[in-house]
Structure 1
Amino acid sequence: MPHEVIMPALGMAQDTGKIVSWLKSTGDPVKAGDALFEVETDKATMEVESPADGYLTDVQADAGADVPVGQVIALVSETAESSGAVAHSPVDTDAPDDAPLPEGKAVIMPALGMAQDTGVIVAWHKGLGDPVAAGDILFEVETDKATMEVEAGADGFVAALLAEATESAPVGETIAIISAEKPTNPVQRSMADGAISKPATTPDQTPKAEAKDEQKSAPTAKQVSKAPPTKPTVKSADGRILASPKARRLALEQGLDLNRLVEAGHPQPFHVADLEVLRALPAQTVETAAAPSHRLTAEVPTDGFSEFALWAAENAGLKDANAVLAGLAAASLGHETAIIMVESFGQSRAYQVPAGAFSSIVEAEDDTAPDLILRDLRMSRVSTVNLGAENAPVLTLTQAKGGLSITLECAGHHLSASAAISLLSEFSGRMEQPLRHLL
């Protein structure tokens, strides 16, 4: 089955993107992660990667064309032959329903990452009929990597809400409509019930009704799960718990153990709504032995990173050495996108590291739960560390015999033994020869 290549949203108020150039030609073989084309908005220029292995076919727009966000512009097919399929625009609002949709600007589910297929609506900040400005926050969206506030993108009134809070919507799907005039018949729909039109309600009616129902009976996995009970459980290949940063942070603050959801067979990745399922689980009566923690140390004969950081600053414009360090750590972790917390000189800074060029690394919110903590103690007198496991795997750099000593400490549920060995080996190799990452 062909995989669609869509125009991504590089900004919350972006309507279109300009194709700067195609990096692959029609019929070329591609691998998942290969850069297909460059897209430019008024805020940034970024390479868009292939979503799967196959052949680039059915290219719908040439270099220099402005394409609406979410529109399909090519396919990645199993063969090099064009399928003849015409790309469609996801902003088409002609869906079967009981009432016509009002006219206005379509608000789509944005792509917060190149490999994102869906997003979960955490909450709507505006209700039906509410006036909005282009810069007003309309809703919050959550993926397995980040939670972000999304702006309305246009002045007007909320004429339609086509998905409910906690529901998952495909990237590019129209989930709201902003009309220029105050709507006389605003439309409320749900993704779960096949977009059947519902009577318009004010923003505070539905939450109150739900709160009343919750008082009658405790929530169950079937009631609040974001997926049907028959959905197969998704697990990380390395044994790591897949959960959004916000869900991890709230679980930590509230003393909730995500391992209990894993033991119950609840589908991963976990989102904020899954914490209600966790609270509803029966209290544990038998204590289970925790997975053993891991502590490994690698000796690197030479510190190749210092010279590489200077070269990157002078020749590649990468002035933030900590961002480069985070890029090497994320590449060793092997995630599509990772949050790396770098601690040095008594300060901490979080970075969001996507797959690809180091120039795309950006700072993350300070309260974002990291996938990996990196402590740079090369300038201190500390020579060995044994601090124990924390909320995420920790890599610590210290000086040793003209080179480096790198220590990995993590809990057993963060990484399996083989994954811990792989992470430390990969990162040690990159610190000794950073150019390995570029080959």
Structure 2
Amino acid sequence: MPHEVIMPALGMAQDTGKIVSWLKSAGDAVKAGDALFEVETDKATMEVESPADGYLTDVQADAGADVPVGNVIALVSDTAEDSGSAAQAPVDAGGSDDASLPDGKAVIMPALGMAQDTGVIVAWHKGLGDAVAAGDILFEVETDKATMEVEAGTDGFVAALLAEADEAAPVGDTIAIISPEKPANPVQRSIADGGAAKPAATPDPAPKAKGEPKSSPKKAPKAQAFTSADGRILASPKARRLALEQGLDLNRLVEAGHPQPFHVADIEVLSTMPAQTAGQTAAPPRRLTADLPTDGSCAFTEWATENTDLQDANAILAGLAAASLGRDTAIIAVESFEQSRAYTVPAGPFSAITKAEDDSAPDLILRDLRLSRVSTVDLGEEDAPVLTLTRTNSGLTITLECAGHHLAASAAVTLLSEFAGRMEQPLRHLL
């Protein structure tokens, strides 16, 4: 089945991209990751890679052409012959009846990768009519590889929202409009109902007849705070970083009943909350240690690299740490002597572990100092919980450090206990 090569969006204010040059010719054999062409916008020039192995076919645009974001410009096919299936009409900006949309700057669904056709809107951070600045977070988008916060890209007011949370929008489609003036009739649409406009404001009720009893207003239900089963506080990487930089405790949002996961807008709320009294002390940083008489991981890693396809010792460490964290999937960063490598670790065998994207925010940092002279660490909290390995005379010391809002006390104890057990007896990971 052919794989589409689309014009990527390098920014929210980008409508088109110019093909600077083709680095491969039609009919050439290509590998996944090979650079196919260079694309230029007003802000950047980048190489676009092939999404799969195959042959470059059905090239739809020459060097120097401006192509709308999201348009298919070539295929990577199983054979070198053109299929004729890549022709594509210009992308429709946001659905039917465009004449009914307010004037303003279009916000498109960005492409986070070449193999991405759609993006799922996780949540809108701004509502209809809200004032926004160019750097404000407008929404969160999720693909099969990443979740990212998308900025408004321009100052103004939210005049139209053309998709709802949890809906998948095609890459390059207009999903919002930001107008320079506050809109008189903002538009709300849903992809599920074909883009039909929804009323943005409730019409005034008809006058009541005399003697008709007045209905008492119903209070909106209070949002329920959600906490993960393992005691973690759920928050985006940027929200965690801002909270740490500003010395804010995410536990206060939990106690106040704010629903999780927390985002940048919640950090703004947290920063304006009244100062804590003496009886409302923020959760202190956590530091726990475990001493092991023996380090069984070295012999296990040596055996695995000699007798199996597992050749990356750091990936094995990441697998042991992720299993101790108890999640379906976790990003584990393994550090050693100023070198760091992140891994995506799903629940299951070591063979399922893959290298994570370079900019992936880790759920856990594993710092391996066993080959150094450092014997004790007390470095304080970081952006994610940190497990540090240090040598003792005959065994191993494991230190867990994290902020109070990273892990509940019980979750921290469980993480360290589980990881210590796996480092002492790695075979338990296989049971």
Please give the range of the TM-score, normalised by the shorter of the 2 chains: 0.5 to 0.7
Shift in CA distance, 63/190, structure 1 to aligned 2, threshold 3 Å = same
Q: Distance in 1 between matches of 2:82 and 2:116?
A: 25
The residue identity in structure 2 corresponding to 1:343 is E
Aligned match of 1:6: 6
CA positional deviation for 1:169: 2.5
Identity %: 65
Query: Would you say 1:87 and 2:88 are equivalent positions?
Result: yes
Q: Secondary structure at the match of 1:121?
A: strand
Aligned match of 1:192: 192
**Aligned residues of 2:134 and 2:154 also touching (Cα < 8 A):** yes
Match of 2:301 among 295, 298, 302: 298
Aligned match of 2:153: 153
Aligned match of 1:49: 49
Shift in CA distance, 19/386, structure 1 to aligned 2, threshold 3 Å = farther
Aligned pairs (5 A) from 1:169-248: 169-201=169-201, 212=221
Aligned pairs (5 A) from 1:33-48: 33-41=33-41, 45-48=45-48
Aligned match of 1:317: none
The residue identity in structure 2 corresponding to 1:168 is A
Shift in CA distance, 117/71, structure 1 to aligned 2, threshold 3 Å = closer
Shift in CA distance, 211/156, structure 1 to aligned 2, threshold 3 Å = same
Shift in CA distance, 94/343, structure 1 to aligned 2, threshold 3 Å = closer
1:4-51 deviation digits (Å, cap 9, x = unpaired): 211223345444444343232112233444332233456655432222
CA positional deviation for 1:53: 3.8
TM-score, normalised with respect to structure 1: 0.51
The residue identity in structure 1 corresponding to 2:301 is A
Gaps of 5+ in 1: 203-208, 216-246, 257-271, 274-293, 301-325, 354-359, 395-405, 418-439
CA positional deviation for 1:329: 5.4
1:363-409 deviation digits (Å, cap 9, x = unpaired): 554xx425x84635322472865969959x98xxxxxxxxxxx9995
**Aligned residues of 1:98 and 1:196 also touching (Cα < 8 A):** no
The residue identity in structure 2 corresponding to 1:150 is V
Match of 1:379 among 372, 389, 409: 372
Q: Secondary structure at the match of 2:100?
A: coil
Q: Distance in 2 between matches of 1:171 and 1:299?
A: 46
1:272-322 deviation digits (Å, cap 9, x = unpaired): 89xxxxxxxxxxxxxxxxxxxx9562349xxxxxxxxxxxxxxxxxxxxxx
Larger Rg: 2
1:160-199 deviation digits (Å, cap 9, x = unpaired): 1111123233333321122344433322112233323211
Q: Secondary structure at the match of 1:138?
A: strand
Aligned pairs (5 A) from 1:117-128: 117-128=117-128
**Aligned residues of 2:5 and 2:75 also touching (Cα < 8 A):** yes
Match of 1:342 among 320, 326, 334: 334
**Aligned residues of 2:119 and 2:168 also touching (Cα < 8 A):** yes
Q: Distance in 1 between matches of 2:9 and 2:427?
A: 36
State the number of aligned residues.
Answer: 293
CA positional deviation for 1:138: 1.3
Shift in CA distance, 155/60, structure 1 to aligned 2, threshold 3 Å = farther
Aligned match of 1:61: 61
Shift in CA distance, 26/178, structure 1 to aligned 2, threshold 3 Å = same
Q: Secondary structure at the match of 1:74?
A: strand
The residue identity in structure 2 corresponding to 1:166 is D
Gaps of 5+ in 2: 203-217, 235-259, 262-295, 304-311, 320-328, 345-355, 375-390, 399-412
Shift in CA distance, 181/50, structure 1 to aligned 2, threshold 3 Å = same
Q: Secondary structure at the match of 1:298?
A: helix
CA positional deviation for 1:150: 0.9
1:34-82 deviation digits (Å, cap 9, x = unpaired): 3322334566554322223443222223334444432322122344333
Shift in CA distance, 298/214, structure 1 to aligned 2, threshold 3 Å = closer
The residue identity in structure 2 corresponding to 1:48 is V
Q: RMSD over aligned Cα, in angstroms? A: 5.0
Aligned match of 2:363: 369
Shift in CA distance, 113/2, structure 1 to aligned 2, threshold 3 Å = closer
Q: Distance in 2 between matches of 1:81 and 1:105?
A: 40
TM-score, normalised with respect to structure 2: 0.52
